[in-house]
Chain A
Amino acid sequence: DAGVTQSPTHLIKTRGQQVTLRCSPISGHKSVSWYQQVLGQGPQFIFQYYEKEERGRGNFPDRFSARQFPNYSSELNVNALLLGDSALYLCASSLGTNRPEQFFGPGTRLTVL
């Protein structure tokens, strides 16, 4: 079975622009979580979605938004990009909110210039 897939692999944007990152979970997994990983740090939680509903939100500004589609894939949107948004954005999938095992994709490397 395929693992979690993310696109694009790399992205370069300038300050003020908007970006959309995409994630497809493992087949059968209904929950998707997004994390931001700054170089040299552990991943930080941004959002979790389950069955198209937001189930959790981390300490990130409203410039960050996400949604989940009927096929359980997900998009993360970031508006008005700042230099500090440069990071590896990771998507993790799990079977559901009561199953704690989360499996990560390869990430999208976002560079904001």
Chain B
Amino acid sequence: QQQVKQSPQSLIVQKGGISIINCAYENTAFDYFPWYQQFPGKGPALLIAIRPDVSEKKEGRFTISFNKSAKQFSLHIMDSQPGDSATYFCAAIHNQAGTALIFGKGTTLSVSS
């Protein structure tokens, strides 16, 4: 019930391409879904987040697509750049009852120049 499954584990994209990372959740009580970006030796940085009452949210080159019926959400990185090379984590939380972010296992993105 608490699991968040993330795929793929690793991803290689050419510069200028689109990076797509997918996540699926089980607990229908989750009501906030953030994505974090983490560089080696650093803490995770909040990238973008969505609530289940919208199907898409875009901030610059980053877009979250959300499918409530399928219990899936994904991160799209448009025009991927070498500086985007990092590990990306999806997460979920039941804001009203829970205090803990439940994280996926992460996707290591490498953008080749």
Interface size class of B (residues with CB under 8 A): 20 to 34
Is B98 at the interface (CB under 8 A from chain A)? Answer: yes
Stretch of B14-22, B42-50, B57-65, B76-84 on the interface side: B42-50
| Residue from A44, A56, A103, A106 in contact with B98 in the complex, judged by beta carbons closer than 8 Å | A56
What's the Cα separation between A9 and B34 when bound, in Å?
26
Interface size class of A (residues with CB under 8 A): 20 to 34
Most chain B beta-carbon contacts within 10 A, residue among A40, A42, A44: A42
* Contact partners of B105 in chain A: CB under 8 A: 40-42
Chain A minimum-CB-distance residue to B93: A100
Q: Give B residues with C-beta under 8 Å from A.
A: 6, 32, 34, 36, 41-46, 49, 89, 91, 93, 95-96, 98-106
* Contact partners of B100 in chain A: CB under 8 A: 33, 45, 48, 56, 58
